[in-house]
Structure 1
């Protein structure tokens, strides 16, 4: 009996199925937490007495911490065993979720979200590793399909669940609900997965590489998060952070290319297919995530929507993706993946152009349609792009390439959040000033006065109207810029050579 057969025989079919469900649930929880806070930002900002701009640190801090921790997953699993690390990560995630819910200041909430991200980062890849470990080859396709469905369901359920909880309970509960799921996963892992624990080895860790990684990403993200409040490069602090980020990044690249056991294996970038595919992924995820951040905030702050309704509009894209994911999986071995990616990205870009014509009078149904139609293209971009990038590297480099792919994807969402909100704010100011230059408020004021408004009420009404229109024009600007980026990404993907067949995508996460 081979060692693999021995592993599979350690679990009964029932235990294997239960373990698969628990691993899928753990992945769903972590993916859900990336989007569940998006629609709750206005609630959290109002409760903590901070601006919505500052409230978005709750999104970026989690994403950055998760991205930094993902490259460490392989080392942690080898050093402590994959089941033990999975259990410890779940304990940490549950604990920091409770602390997030108990937070009374922005500083405490951001610190606890960083803790949540550090613990959540390894859960996704380790849940996938364990699925591959407990299911025999002939059952892995179905197991990975179930896992992939949770990755798609997370962004769909996150805004709806977050909106409903914020409207009907309180924002604290978007974090508290993680606790029972985490406890269930911890006990189930101990009861079911102990027999498939991996062997441990005292492998070295690239401490300097890890330090440089945290340093340059930390400087970059702080610069992006506080830049708009400090007038960007007019402030010496922002200039200093930008210089430190550049120096740290250059030092990180040089160190990692010369280190024997790098924390991030940058050598895989020598493959043109991997590099162009990863660049395409970063652009697409950044542009796609722009709408996930902007739409719920605009609908709640300017359009008078509840968090629940804003969440439903946001989630429609991921809902549609659930229908077409099986078709994309079926077509992947029959169609050139570059054609699938290019077509899907262009499709998403066209839907961004449609949304760039929204007005302050747009209704719920009009917003739902492009959101839903856009979603059909998501699996035709995400699934083939994974095949393209992993199919461009050597089989021995697949794990490193998959880890780097997840790192770049998560960082793209964090950086895009900061850049989009800056662009949105700047565009609002420009639109407001442009309207103020051409307005003729005297006529409107006299009309309002004849309707019984006082001069102060009339001025305030005009100001509110200008503000509302400036915000929606800024939203349209964000969608237009997203569309241009997506169209560029649809072309860039053709730089990649056609990938080889039979790609092992099991290491992707």
Structure 2
């Protein structure tokens, strides 16, 4: 159990620094650099697939391996930070991230790429919660809402700007530069952190190896079910059954252990904080919807609409514009006294509306619906993030910040990993079933007055005509698959809106810790 911390004092930061502005730049550079890597590779996937000898199903491991590795490593951030010091952990993770980025750029096959992305994901896991904790620690209570707004912009805009930067690098250099670009940025980041970054006190704390093992096993088992299910025919396969049982048993044992162990991985008092628990559930939905959407759209725009890699990134940019716009406005509205719960609820409604609009897309449309729906979705996401973070951390005692941040980042990563795997699976199955339903309707018999043997008599020309018809059926089936994914994400987003009623409005940035969350 952590010892009680002093109540935050207005005007005084928990960890004062000599140059807060420059350190903020360094911390945000690290945050944006690692969060970009969750999506910067998306638009380059078709190029990687060819270069690495992967298939359309297996190349997505480049995305999910990074996210899963981060999800598994995030829970030990708090323990490592206490054990070796938050400054040392931040610096080590940044150096590891840069080395892993260089290795990813040099990968020669899919196996190497997945291994290096796992290393990159483990390094990145610690950067997000530590950066959030630093932003809270170096700012006095009355500036923490603004600090979270700045941090949130990096978290939300990073994945959206990733495809733009990745597209430009792929078009003008090659896909390997989506990883090499981290090297010069990383050197600047390490220099600033080495110079200015303070450290939280080091304290010895027992590591919950059983809880960590069960959580890691559960996450890995669930991801294997989602990744292997489609190729192994789901529960017709013994392998998938075994992986699912391992995941269920591991998650169950982790849950029981969490509420019965003497020193669990996450302090039990975290689960008594209503705002944090609700925010964790919201982050699960944000990870699922946002990251799954960003994984779907690049291949859709390139394959079905014929856009270049860079043009695809540009078409996705309006999301970032919407996020920045409403995030800045939200921060001002909260400071002026607006109940942040209204912003969160409205943001989710707008995001659900944008996904519903995407279910009306067609193969004949131009780029306007893509731009408009992306901008609207960005408006909704920007309204959610800062108020949600503010409500979660305003009621959380300072000593729990790193663990609370780790928990929220963990659930966002799990949501992203599960979301990408689910939408990929739904897309594949929808293409198969839609093609099977559409194909019988296209034959010589369906055209009035056409002799069934006419196309066969044409020889090669007739075969070409059949191939063209089949290609069009594939396009239509693929479009149906994407629309099914959009429907699913719209429903999940809409169903999450009632969670707002469980949020409690904080009294202010320096609010007295929630009695339900302060059991120390």
Normalised to the residue count of structure 1, the TM-score between the two structures is: 0.90
- Post-superposition offset of 1:317: 1.3
The residue that corresponds to 2:315 in the other structure is 313
Ranges in structure 2 where 5+ consecutive residues have no aligned partner: 1-8, 514-520
Moved more, 371-380 or 272-281: 272-281
**2:67 matched to 1:63?**
yes
Deviations 1:162-183 (A, max 9, x none): 1111222111111111111112
Ranges in structure 1 where 5+ consecutive residues have no aligned partner: none
The residue that corresponds to 1:157 in the other structure is 161
The residue that corresponds to 2:476 in the other structure is 469
Q: CA RMSD in A?
A: 2.8
Given candidates 356, 364, 367, the residue that maps to 1:361 is 364
Moved more, 126-135 or 237-246: 126-135
- Post-superposition offset of 1:274: 4.1
Counterparts of 1:153 and 1:91, CA distance in 2: 23
Deviations 1:214-236 (A, max 9, x none): 11111111121111111111110
Moved more, 484-493 or 174-183: 484-493
Q: Is the contact made by 1:37 and 1:159 (CA closer than 8 Å) also made in structure 2?
A: yes
Deviations 1:132-159 (A, max 9, x none): 4445556555544433332233123201
Counterparts of 1:366 and 1:149, CA distance in 2: 24
SS in 2 for 1:376: helix
Compared with structure 1, are the counterparts of its residues 327 and 103 closer, same or farther at alpha carbon in structure 2 (3 Å cutoff)?
Answer: same
**2:295 matched to 1:293?**
yes
Deviations 1:58-107 (A, max 9, x none): 11111111122222222212211222111111110011001111111111
- Post-superposition offset of 1:247: 0.6
The residue that corresponds to 1:419 in the other structure is 422
Deviations 1:396-429 (A, max 9, x none): 6554333212211111011100011101111111
Compared with structure 1, are the counterparts of its residues 88 and 394 closer, same or farther at alpha carbon in structure 2 (3 Å cutoff)?
Answer: closer
Deviations 1:285-317 (A, max 9, x none): 312332211111112223222111222223321
Counterparts of 1:315 and 1:199, CA distance in 2: 41
**2:504 matched to 1:491?**
no
Counterparts of 1:266 and 1:420, CA distance in 2: 33
How many residue pairs were aligned?
497
Counterparts of 1:411 and 1:443, CA distance in 2: 47
Given candidates 409, 413, 417, the residue that maps to 1:410 is 413
- Post-superposition offset of 1:498: 3.2
Counterparts of 2:359 and 2:225, CA distance in 1: 28
Counterparts of 1:453 and 1:311, CA distance in 2: 39
Q: How does 1:313-352 map to 2 (within 5 A)?
A: 313-332=315-334, 334-352=337-355
Counterparts of 2:381 and 2:28, CA distance in 1: 20
- Post-superposition offset of 1:211: 1.3
More helix by share: 1
Given candidates 365, 368, 383, the residue that maps to 1:380 is 383
Q: Is the contact made by 2:23 and 2:192 (CA closer than 8 Å) also made in structure 1?
A: yes
The residue that corresponds to 2:3 in the other structure is none
SS in 2 for 1:482: helix
Q: Is the contact made by 2:130 and 2:402 (CA closer than 8 Å) also made in structure 1?
A: no
The residue that corresponds to 2:508 in the other structure is 502
Q: Is the contact made by 1:99 and 1:112 (CA closer than 8 Å) also made in structure 2?
A: yes
**2:252 matched to 1:246?**
no
The residue that corresponds to 2:79 in the other structure is 75
SS in 1 for 2:206: coil
Compared with structure 1, are the counterparts of its residues 312 and 266 closer, same or farther at alpha carbon in structure 2 (3 Å cutoff)?
Answer: farther
SS in 2 for 1:264: coil
